[in-house]
């Protein structure tokens, strides 16, 4: 949270979310390399700590944007819908990741998830650039 406070003076909330996607993606992809390290517990703790910092880059500005954009009388409904959709959206990828980890290798799944988040960050960057070009945000 302290990092986000300092960063908010330099970058916008939308840019923080993009940074979060890239950082979280790199963190998950780095977990694929865990077998190369002798002290795996230390490597895991450092990488997941850094990935957690980047998770905050996604969720905290996202909630801030939602609060700023939602109509005050509908804010509770917006948050209720968000949490229902988050739970629904988390279930299917969890099952898929479990099936993939059983079928392939856990490292391949982490690498795939990390690369997927990096690609999502790239798509978000392109989308926000397109919106800015059109006169929004």
Given this model, what pLDDT does residue 88 score?
Answer: 76
44 Cβ partners below 8 Å, 6+ apart?
Answer: 31, 34
CA distance 64 to 110: 29
Residue 28 burial (10 A CB sphere; 0-12, 13-18, 19+): buried
Distance of CA 32 to the CA centre of its chain: 17
Of these ranges, 53-57, 67-71, 93-97, the one predicted with the greatest mean pLDDT is 53-57
Mean pLDDT on 71-90: 81
Mean pLDDT on 96-101: 80
For the entire predicted model, the pTM comes to: 0.74
Residue 137 pLDDT exceeds 80: no
Residue 87 pLDDT exceeds 60: yes
DSSP percent split of the chain into helix, strand, coil, nearest 5: 85, 0, 15
Given this model, what pLDDT does residue 136 score?
Answer: 59
Residue 81: which pLDDT band, with cuts at 50, 70 and 90?
confident
43 Cβ partners below 8 Å, 6+ apart?
Answer: 34, 37
């Amino acid at each position: 949270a302290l990092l986000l406070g300092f960063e908010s003076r330099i970058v916008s909330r939308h840019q923080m979310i993009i940074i979060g996607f890239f950082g979280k993606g790199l963190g998950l992809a780095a977990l694929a390399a865990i077998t190369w390290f002798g002290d795996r517990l230390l490597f895991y703790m450092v990488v997941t700590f850094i990935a957690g910092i980047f998770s905050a880059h996604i969720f905290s500005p996202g909630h801030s944007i939602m609060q700023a954009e939602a109509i005050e009388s509908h804010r509770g409904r917006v948050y209720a819908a968000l949490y229902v959709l988050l739970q629904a959206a988390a279930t299917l990828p969890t099952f898929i990741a479990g099936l993939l980890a059983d079928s392939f290798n856990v490292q391949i799944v982490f690498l795939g998830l990390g690369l997927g988040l990096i690609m999502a960050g790239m798509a978000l960057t392109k989308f926000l650039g397109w919106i800015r070009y059109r006169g929004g945000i």
